[in-house]
Amino acid sequence: MNKLKSLFMFTSDQRKGIFVLLFFIVALQFVYFFTDFNITQTISPDKQEWLAMQSKIDSIKASNPKYIVKVYPFNPNFITDYKGYKLGMSVREIDRLLDYRKENKYVNSPKEFQAVTQISDSLLNAIAPYFKFPDWVKNTTQNKGYVKYENKAFAKNEKTVLIDINVATQEELIKIYGIGEVISLRILKLKENLGGFVSMEQMNDVWGLSPEVIGALNSHFKVYALPMVHKIDINNASLKEISQFSYFRYALAKEIVTYRSMNGDIKNVEDLTKIKGFPVEKANIIALYLDFD
């Protein structure tokens, strides 16, 4: 009995230690019950927008048991967040494709699409029949090499008459294999922003054009005469005006303003090539849009 009683006899320091231990136990219980341990994930505004539509779409499907999603043929290289969701892709799978496209790379077959996105075989089998790649991709795959194809829309017995790219319509651009409504509008938008093209080399600046399609454009279009563009007064234009030029980003525009404030007037395009970040390979084209006087 005395031995058992001795087990419950504590010194003053031991009693303090027990009290502190009990205090921490109680405090940890409070933290556990009243703290939210869920990790907050940051989602971009664009993803928030299309994810918010998910519940609406699901409710529509639930209310209509006969609801069938009709899928039209599409180029898988240009799948958007919302389009990917409708096809059954996860956010991570869509992001893998978008990251791949940011590197200006393209998938040219269902197998490459799966390798990039890492979607399941079952999902690939469900959506691959709707993939529509440009005809030049099919020709290249079949012949295992570059094939110079003839555009049937322009095929004639006589010599092809080149069209001035600065007066070309959207309908004329779409006749080129590999150019659809979206890319044709990009070409026309760039022409509008610049005031006109000064060289067919500028087709390389249109996002989404492959070398084969650019070659086809050069076979049917050309710049007959330099357009009357509104030139930028590079020595007097404001930072905002310079940054709005298609070939200058804000950071480069800022470098240009700093350079001229420290070195005086910019006399020619060679002066601009000394500035950090200036696209030297496009200097001759850029010069035609600038006024150095």
Per-residue pLDDT of the chain (293 residues; tens, 9 = 90+): 555 555 556 677 777 777 778 887 888 877 777 675 555 555 566 666 656 666 565 665 556 555 455 667 888 888 887 788 888 888 889 889 888 888 778 888 889 899 999 999 888 888 888 888 765 555 545 544 444 444 444 444 446 689 999 999 999 999 998 899 999 999 999 999 999 999 999 999 999 889 999 999 999 999 998 888 889 999 999 999 999 999 998 999 999 999 999 999 999 999 999 999 999 999 999 999 999 88
Summarize the chain as % helix, strand, coil (round to 5): 55, 5, 40
Please tell me whether the overall predicted TM-score, pTM, comes out greater than 0.75 for this model.
no
| The token pair that represents 76 in the structure block | 């898988």
- HEC letters along 139-189: HHHHHCCCCCCCCCCCCCCCCCCCEECCCCCHHHHHCCCCCCHHHHHHHHH
CATH of 232-291, one of 1.10.287, 1.10.150, 1.10.357, 3.40.50: 1.10.150
Which CATH code fits 163-222?
1.10.150.320
Contacting residues for 169 by C-beta, under 8 A, at least 6 apart: none
**In the chain, domain spans:** 46-133, 163-222, 232-291
